[in-house]
Structure 1
Amino acid sequence: MTVADDVPALSAGTPAYRRLTLAMLFAGFATFSTLYAVQPLLPSLAGHYLLSAEAASLAVSMATGPLALGILVAGALSDRVGRRPLMVAAMMAAALLTLAAAVAPGWYALLALRLLAGLALAGVPAVAMAYVAEEVDVASVGSAMGLYIAGSALGGMGGRLVASLVAAVADWRWALAVVGVIGLALAEAFRRLAPPSRRFRASTGGWLAMLRGAGPLFRDPGLQLLYAESFLLMGAFVTIYNYAGFHLIAPPYRLGQAAVGAVFLLYILGSASSSWFGTLAGRMGRRRIFWVPVAILIAGIALTAAAPLWAVIAGIAIVTIGFFGAHSIASAWVGRRGGAARGQAAAWYLFFYYLGSSVLGSAGGVAWTRAGWGGVVAFCLLLGSLALLGGLSLFRVRPLPDAVAGQP
């Protein structure tokens, strides 16, 4: 894949840029509302199907695991067929599969449909990062990507909140049905708003050439660390949210389904955090800022270990701020260091991102079963500490030859 350098990139303030950022906001919302709407429903699914917490968490992991693998294919496929068409098809398919999951006849049928939805959604995240990096000028990439991440945060919040509220007055099947209908509407809005790719040029190489192109990416020490960061940070974040519901419906809190769902309103903080940290990193340099939101995430994890309900909620809020701030910086950084192979670079970043959600999110269930919330906190603190070490190591990564000061 090459970029048509003779076509001017979109810059902030233009009508086309505003359309693109609004479309990306919808794409992020649709993707993450569909992907994580089942998360607040895990206690309900566990009760309905008589499952343990870690078994119920498969409703999340069975989507994020295939999503991780599908991203590798989707990223390469988008280099050949284009970004926008693949994103539209992926969003439509995932919404329809969510509607089908609402009427699944049993647990294994539900898991199968979640697996297919995860594969379908693979056509959005890696492609979105490449789409923005291609079409938007360098000075505006950080803020545009920050808005996409903001949409992701809003979608993660909105999907979970809608699912919780609907489940509180009906059941989990109606909750999934409503999320599926919203996903279809957002997919159509994206189709109408997203500008056609102007700077995209299809790859002329074969699939083997695309695979060989991954070699230089993994020889880049900066990308190696960023891939590790995505695995660890997403693992810690999704573990906190996977098992917070089980923690809060149990004694001494005994919150109801609607109250647990209201916790996901904290995602609005992630929306603001991603945009703010993306802009800050653009001014001060990613290597100087990245470790800050990681440290914030660690502080939030530690606070959730406190007994008072307000402390648990405040801790989850701080975790949300830290995670989305770090993810906003890292995702833009990957697109920058990926260069001409930014599609593949983004795909590998998201492969490790969703692999962390699937593998570490399920592993957190073992910590919950064996040691309760204290075990979950200890597990996530370990992941966060490793991520902080990696973030500090990024200080030593050599900037790209053509990078401006502080923008490796």
Structure 2
Amino acid sequence: MTVLPTGAAPIHTESTVLPRVAPRQPRVRLDAFPRKASNRWLLRLALAAPFVIIALIEHFSSGLTSGTTVNQDLLARVEQIDWTRADVSWVGSLYPPIGTVLASLIPGGTLGLGIAGAVVAGPFLQQMIEVMHQRRFPRIKATAFFIALAVNPLFAYTVTTNFEAFLGIAFFGVGAINMFRFIVNRNTQAGFRAGLLFMVSALSSTSGLVYIAVAGVTAPLLTLARRGQRGARASNILVILFPTLSTFVTVFFLQLVFLHRPFAVLTTQFTYDPTRWALFPQLVTTLNGFLILAPMLSGWALALLVRRPGAILISTFLFVALIFGYVFDLIPLNAAGNTFLIMTMMGIAILPAATTRRATTLITIVAGAQIIIAWAAAYNRPVVLDWMGSLTHALGWN
């Protein structure tokens, strides 16, 4: 028996040092793109510039369209508002307040709103590029999705003639990206950002209500990072919807107290037109209907390719909600491309990081099909076709 001297350290015959465990790597990168802030702003300006040019051409070309644009309707509504009032009924008449107030503050009429839409388009498109970079999209795949989303007449028409709708789409798009990071990647900060962005979207455009309703229904369908945690799905939904719900509940309460009509702000926005139900049979009987339906079918294809069947329900709920938004006049008749833009943007927002080469190739083919769908839909929408013809005439191309 060996006796150790007093104070001597014990002798270890085996190493007691535990092996170092490598930290868990995040599923996606969160670095900004481009890395330098100055380069990001240059990219945003470069992306906004083409739409500024289009807005200028629209303004200086007489008789650009045979009908009124949504921006013209917005300005006409703003002119009828009595800005000397500040009662509860007056506040309700401002809805959507962000879009209405901005339209009253932006100078230059339809030209100012067109340029404002272009200014929003720059940061929005940069965010779309950034999320594809973070998800490690191959260059050809990212290029195909970017062209499908932004390089088509539907996008340019919405940006320059429908400021309210594009504002709602842009805020919802960035909010959807943050919702995905929150639920799937366990990024709590992104969850709070998503909630605030969804609230701003709902307050920017009447169609924003449609998007938020779909976000609340589809959020539980995303792959949950906090598996095994009781109440995780319900808490996720509460985080992303709380800012919007609290805002509207406050307005409803004030209108109940002072007007005895809690939903007055909504009843002034919903205009039911039974003739719009004719759109449903047209979805399967006409070419224009198929082109409206096609983005949802593309969403189904993407969901199957990335092995996320729950995303099929997301695409379906979103499409059905947009159609009902059209029926109840939340989407104006002279709008175009809302369904296509939202569906394409959601595809970018929820697609996971690159997997196999075969899947990447098939996803790129689907994105290429979206490009064809966008241009075909533009040529089948009279308001967009008239707008395109006026632009080419102003440029002397016909």
Range of TM-score over shorter length: 0.3 to 0.5
The answer to which structure, 1 or 2, has the higher relative contact order (CA under 8 A, 6+ apart) is 1
Largest Rg, 1 or 2? 2
Q: TM-score with structure 2 length normalisation?
A: 0.32
